[in-house]
Amino acid sequence: MKSESVVVSKRGYIVLPAQIRREMNIKPGSRVLIHRENDRLTLETVESFTHKLEGLTQHTIGDTPEKVDAFIDSERKDRTDD
């Protein structure tokens, strides 16, 4: 893990170093997630997070649009049956 020191401005802004932005393909308007755990903050690109979710859901929901649609239809049916 690379570490960089940055300064927080009076307004709470943090400037990400250019090299990190390039390496992580972070451009103006890119969205990032900030995670807080005790006294630790981590940033994660939204794309990275959605890829993780995609990997987690492939086995339970499906890995094709048809399987995802079938899963959603099944869940909707189960909820209306109650």
pLDDT (0 to 100) of residue 55:
66
Whole-number pLDDT of residue 78: 81
Q: What is the mean pLDDT, run by run of 10 residues, along the chain of 82 residues?
A: 90 94 91 92 80 68 80 84 66
User: pTM value?
Assistant: 0.53
pLDDT score, position 50: 65
pLDDT value for 31: 85
Domains held by the chain: number = 1
pLDDT of 62: 73
Q: Note whether residue 61 is domain-resident.
A: yes
According to DSSP, the β-strands at 32-37 and 40-45 are antiparallel
pLDDT at 77: 85
Per the structure, the complete domain to which residue 55 belongs is given by: 13-82
In a domain, 1, yes or no: no
